Amino acid sequence: MLKDAYAGDLTVADEGRTVRLAGWVHRRRDHGGLIFLDLRDSHGIVQVVVDPENAQAHEAAHRARSEWVLAVEGTVSRRSPETVNRDMATGEVEILPTRVEVLNEALTPPFAVNDESEVDELVRLRHRYVDLRRPGVAEVIRMRHEVVLFMRRFLAERGFQEIETPTLIKSTPEGARDFLVPSRLQQGHFFALPQSPQILKELLMVGGFERYFQMARCYRDEDTRANRIVELTQLDLEMAFVEEEDVISLVEELFTEVGRRFGGGRRLARTPFPRIEYADAMARYGIDRPDLRFGLEFIDVSDAVRGSGFQVFAGALAAGGEVRAVRVPGQAEMARRAIDSLVEVARGGGARGLANIGFLAGDDLRSPIARFLSEDEVSGLRTLTGAEDGDMLFLCADEPAVVSASLALVREELAKRLDLIDRDVLSFAWVTGFPLLEWQPEEERWDATHNPFCGFVEEDEHLLATDPGAVRSKQYDLTLNGTEIAGGSVRIHRRPEQEQVLRLMNYTDEDMQDRFGVLLDALEYGAPPMGGIAAGIDRVLMELVGTPNIRDVIAFPKASSGSDPLMGSPQPVGQEQLDELGLRIVLPE
């Protein structure tokens, strides 16, 4: 080995020890005689002090520049009290070298490694091998390893077996587009990269493996966002002979420990994690992954303004809609420009406008709609919302889906503007009681809100034939700080019920057998009751680290365009490869 110690591990306990180190020059300072090198390796940084009396070492240190690769042999020495660097983990010691060897020179990096200044993302990704050396970037990747290692140990200690499933499978689109892989041996046929191992893990349960998990690589050909990527990693697990509570309890125990160990000192907002019914989440927050680190819950004020002279309210209610409000304490005097910008935010959810009422001292109102409201209506709004002098109400009137979407955007924007989010907590919550199916008017069919294999509440089974939209599923989602980090369900484990649900989704018998035949057949060979969950490792790390960009927690991420600046992919391939696969490229005109 070229080294027998790591730079970042050295302490005063090593004083007098002769060590061999190897790493990169983090900083170099030439004082005209003494040369100070900060040597960095994967464990940290230590200072090397090169005396001019050691000609060989001094000549090598004199040549060295940032990011050159050096080997250093020397003695660990305790620093004098006045030179101790409290900002360095190794700040109490330094290395007095007997030999310094240049192992490799380096070009000047495209950006500084020894500071955390902002760098254009494409430049960082194009030179990711340099970017990974930056201490902040490297620390996140190491933390990811620790989180995944803890999860593996946690599950193994509880009887789970890690089993790998194939990454070349049959195309069974489950919401996003599949990435397709052409077959050379069966030309005109394609494998797909898995969006999830859903069917395969259910087959493992049928096969008698009662507790399975893996860190599954999944692929979804969809547009990227700040928290969505095409190539992701998820903690995938499945259990046999379980009910919803069994899966929820185990996963909650896991994430309670993850939060405590890796949350950076932030406290858990509540344990056990709160549970919110889907309908309640939509009514109070307008979204099925609510951020519970702040208030601003919605209040249904329809009864207070029913029959109102304000036609926006009256018209929405007459059409079967609703009026909901958000009370914002202390913001009655909010600037007109700020209010106007919130109106635009609400329009992003489909609303045609956003009414506002500021309650000033006494009975005074600050509102463009005050003249349309009766005293009884104003009193009713105060009573329902608990509004006090100095508070502002924002009100939206429309069909329920539009009100939810619009006020959810307004709520999140207000929390950011008014700095209402408690950054010192990790706020986990379960959302349960999802509808099993949702109507797709464009396609004139029912579709699964989770996946086609999600189980349903037994007492709702009769509604499948009469009112499918009212059937409650056995789905459960885990959210963290307003981000969905995991989703799962208890599955359908009998073929007749599975076929009944698939028929509601307009699958013919031939379609079912073609797409899901292997699972349907397996359900007839003694499939146990089963349930599981998949947690997005990338999203979990985003929240633990506190970054809004999912690419910050991945060693080799794609760019926001979906391309790979580092490897230069995707790219065209030669005609010879296309001929082997029996493919022809037809570009759009």
In tens, the pLDDT along 274-287 reads 999 999 999 999 99
pLDDT tens digit sequence for 29-47: 998 889 999 999 999 999 9
Contacting residues for 58 by C-beta, under 8 A, at least 6 apart: 35, 50, 51, 52
The mean per-residue pLDDT over the stretch 135-159 comes to 97
486 pLDDT more than 70: yes
511 pLDDT more than 80: yes
- Is residue 297 within 8 Å of 290, Cβ to Cβ? no
Closest of 278, 327, 322 to residue 298, by C-alpha:
327
The mean per-residue pLDDT over the stretch 328-335 comes to 96
pLDDT tens digit sequence for 94-122: 999 999 999 999 999 999 999 888 999 99
Closest of 363, 419, 367, 376 to residue 394, by C-alpha:
367
97 beta partners: 74
Q: Two tokens at 80? A: 């004098």
492 beta partners: none
- Phi and psi at residue 527, in whole multiples of 5°? -75, 130
Lowest mean pLDDT among 405-419, 477-491, 530-544, 571-585: 571-585
Q: How many percent of the chain have pLDDT more than 90?
A: 92
440 pLDDT more than 80: yes
3-state secondary structure of 384: helix
Query: CA-CA distance, 361 to 347, in Å (whole number)?
Result: 30
- The reported pLDDT for the residue numbered 556 is 96
pLDDT band at 223; cut points 50, 70, 90: confident
Side-chain-side CA neighbours of residue 164 (13 Å): 4
Query: CA-CA distance, 122 to 235, in Å (whole number)?
Result: 29
Q: Two tokens at 433? A: 């009681």
- Is residue 449 within 8 Å of 436, Cβ to Cβ? yes
The mean per-residue pLDDT over the stretch 296-305 comes to 96
Query: CA-CA distance, 304 to 323, in Å (whole number)?
Result: 9
Query: CA-CA distance, 102 to 2, in Å (whole number)?
Result: 12
Closest of 297, 309, 436, 430 to residue 370, by C-alpha:
309
Query: CA-CA distance, 312 to 319, in Å (whole number)?
Result: 11
The mean per-residue pLDDT over the stretch 398-406 comes to 96
CB crowding 44-77: b at 16 or more within 10 Å, else e? bbbbbbbeeebeebbebbeebebbbebbbbbebb
173 pLDDT more than 70: no
- Is residue 440 within 8 Å of 468, Cβ to Cβ? no
- The reported pLDDT for the residue numbered 307 is 85
505 pLDDT more than 60: yes
3-state secondary structure of 308: coil
Query: CA-CA distance, 136 to 147, in Å (whole number)?
Result: 17
CB crowding 527-537: b at 16 or more within 10 Å, else e? bebbbbbbbbb
Query: CA-CA distance, 406 to 396, in Å (whole number)?
Result: 8
226 pLDDT more than 80: no
3-state secondary structure of 310: coil
Side-chain-side CA neighbours of residue 273 (13 Å): 29
The mean per-residue pLDDT over the stretch 242-252 comes to 98
Lowest mean pLDDT among 48-52, 175-179, 458-462: 175-179
Query: CA-CA distance, 48 to 248, in Å (whole number)?
Result: 52
Closest of 332, 384, 319, 323 to residue 363, by C-alpha:
332
- Phi and psi at residue 535, in whole multiples of 5°? -115, 130
**197 preceded by cis ω (within 30°)?**
no
The mean per-residue pLDDT over the stretch 374-383 comes to 93
Q: How many percent of the chain have pLDDT more than 70?
A: 99
More confidently predicted of 225 and 83: 83
174 pLDDT more than 80: no
Rounded alpha-carbon distances, angstroms, from residue 462 to 457, 459, 468, 497:
10, 7, 9, 11
The mean per-residue pLDDT over the stretch 221-236 comes to 88
The mean per-residue pLDDT over the stretch 371-387 comes to 94
Query: CA-CA distance, 503 to 420, in Å (whole number)?
Result: 47
Alpha-carbon 212 to chain mean position: 23
Contacting residues for 93 by C-beta, under 8 A, at least 6 apart: 10, 11, 12, 14, 15, 46, 76, 77, 78, 79
Terminal CA-CA length for the chain: 59
225 pLDDT more than 80: no
Q: What is the pTM of this model?
A: 0.92
Alpha-carbon 278 to chain mean position: 20
553 pLDDT more than 90: yes
- The reported pLDDT for the residue numbered 300 is 97
392 pLDDT more than 70: yes
| Average pLDDT for the chain | 95
Burial class (CB in 10 A: 0-12, 13-18, 19+), 491: buried
Closest of 138, 233, 184, 113 to residue 552, by C-alpha:
138
Alpha-carbon 534 to chain mean position: 12
Q: What is the DSSP letter of 490?
A: E
pLDDT band at 361; cut points 50, 70, 90: confident
Burial class (CB in 10 A: 0-12, 13-18, 19+), 413: middle
- Phi and psi at residue 22, in whole multiples of 5°? -150, 140
Burial class (CB in 10 A: 0-12, 13-18, 19+), 371: exposed
Closest of 4, 42, 9 to residue 23, by C-alpha:
42
3-state secondary structure of 46: strand
pLDDT band at 175; cut points 50, 70, 90: low
- Is residue 196 within 8 Å of 488, Cβ to Cβ? no
What helix, strand, coil percent values describe the chain, rounded to 5? 35, 25, 40
- Is residue 547 within 8 Å of 483, Cβ to Cβ? no
pLDDT band at 127; cut points 50, 70, 90: very high
The size of the chain, in residues, is: 589
- Phi and psi at residue 247, in whole multiples of 5°? -70, -45
pLDDT band at 235; cut points 50, 70, 90: very high
